[in-house]
Amino acid sequence: MKLGDLGGEFEFIKHVTSNIGLPPGVVKGAGDDCAVLDYSDSEYLLVTTDMMVENDHFNLKWFSPGQTGWKLSESNVSDILAMGGSPLYAFISMSLLRDTTVEFMDDFYKGLLASFKRHSVTLLGGDTTHGTEYVFNLTLVGKVDKKGIRYRSGAKPGDIICVTGRLGGSTAGLKLLLQGKQGYIDAHVSPRCRTAAEAAAIAGYANAMIDVSDGLASEVTHICRQSGTGARIDRSVIPMSAETLDAAEKTGLDPYDFALYGGEDFELLFTMDPGNIPQLNKKFNDFTAVGEILSADRGIYISVDGENQPLKKGYDHFA
């Protein structure tokens, strides 16, 4: 049986981790953006790991080595932010080619360390080996105030669903590149996640949080499954940039698909009591309400031109 037949990677991870008990000292294991460990009286440690494979997560036709390093860091930091935390330490493993040059690796590290500097991350170790394609794995350790931690599971019926920034930009850039069209590709080759200060400001008012790495549809589904809720997304209000709409026009594709099913935008999706909007706006206002958390029996759907449609899930490596 193929992993795809079992229902893809998320189902398989559930299949494997379902009967692993948590020892004392572990607050949360697999199933959120980070694992959560007891640390001090006021703080938890967060740990997340992410692997990027050549020609799957990055194509060296389009990515410089430095952009590859930058994306590896931003995509991982995003997972720490999604819990309301701040990244601290990084551990990198890489499978290089036999003939990888020092210049390639210097550029890779330049991009990686530029992102580390942006987020005050210190590189503390790693492993270097070789294979027939580039593979980079980053493990990040971060911390979060116990009061400021937010899980996927905290959404409540009546919460509004918000996203930071604009969605779909990474996939828009990828589609331009795939079709050989000119246009704005920076959101694909140099994605920027949010900052720890922004994530902490949001966490102060949010009930649930996740980062947008597999598309809005997938992240909303994760929030609903873990919170035991339903949700409605209003397609017409999904925030997209002019560059993303331009790319959709040039490629003949639907920009909403970029936002809903594309992923790698590394924005934050959060739910909160709508009464908190004014207070959060004072501290951070680059967010848009895109829907509402419902009770579980109402299902998870998207409103398209006034018609309710079931929400498909996002990208899965084995589905």
| Binding residue (CB under 8 A) for its own copies from 14, 114, 130, 236 | 130
- Which residues, 84 to 113, sit near its own copies by CB under 8 A? 88-89, 91-96, 98-103, 105, 109
Give yes or no for residue 29 binding its own copies (CB under 8 A). Answer: yes
Tell me the window of 131-139, 165-173, 189-197, 267-275 that interacts with its own copies (CB under 8 A): 131-139
* Strand, coil or helix: 214: coil
Instruction: Write the Ramachandran bin of 125: left for phi over 0, alpha for psi from -120 to 50, otherwise beta.
Output: left
| Binding residue (CB under 8 A) for its own copies from 62, 64, 118, 123 | 123
Residue whose token pair is 């580390």 = 116
Give yes or no for residue 153 binding its own copies (CB under 8 A). Answer: no
Provide the residue type at 207 as one letter: N
Give yes or no for residue 170 binding its own copies (CB under 8 A). Answer: no
Name 208's Cβ contacts closer than 8 Å, sequence gap at least 6: 150, 151, 152, 153, 154, 155, 159, 223, 226, 227, 270, 271
Name 79's Cβ contacts closer than 8 Å, sequence gap at least 6: 33, 34, 48, 50, 140, 211, 213
Q: How far is the CB of 116 from its own copies (least distance, A)?
A: 9
Tell me the window of 46-54, 154-162, 225-233, 306-314 that interacts with its own copies (CB under 8 A): 46-54
Query: Which string of x and - marks every residue 224-253 that binds its own copies (by CB under 8 A)?
Result: ------------------------------
Pairing of strands 307-310, 300-304: antiparallel
Q: How far is the CB of 113 from its own copies (least distance, A)?
A: 8
Cβ proximity to its own copies: between 57 and 192 the closer is 57
Give the relative orientation of helices 65-81 and 196-203 as an angle to the nearest 10 degrees: 20
- Residues 162, 269 contacting (CB under 8 angstroms): yes
| Binding residue (CB under 8 A) for its own copies from 126, 157, 183, 204 | 126
Distance CA 42, CA 172 (A): 42
Cβ proximity to its own copies: between 26 and 237 the closer is 26
Tell me the window of 25-33, 220-228, 295-303, 306-314 that interacts with its own copies (CB under 8 A): 25-33
Tell me the window of 23-31, 147-155, 278-286, 300-308 that interacts with its own copies (CB under 8 A): 23-31
In DSSP terms, which residues pair with 234 in a beta bridge? Answer: 303
Q: How far is the CB of 33 from its own copies (least distance, A)?
A: 9
The residue count for binding its own copies (CB under 8 A) is 68
- Residues 224, 97 contacting (CB under 8 angstroms): no
Give yes or no for residue 17 binding its own copies (CB under 8 A). Answer: yes
Sheet holding 86-96, edge to edge: 26-28, 35-38, 43-53, 135-145, 86-96, 122-130
Give yes or no for residue 47 binding its own copies (CB under 8 A). Answer: yes
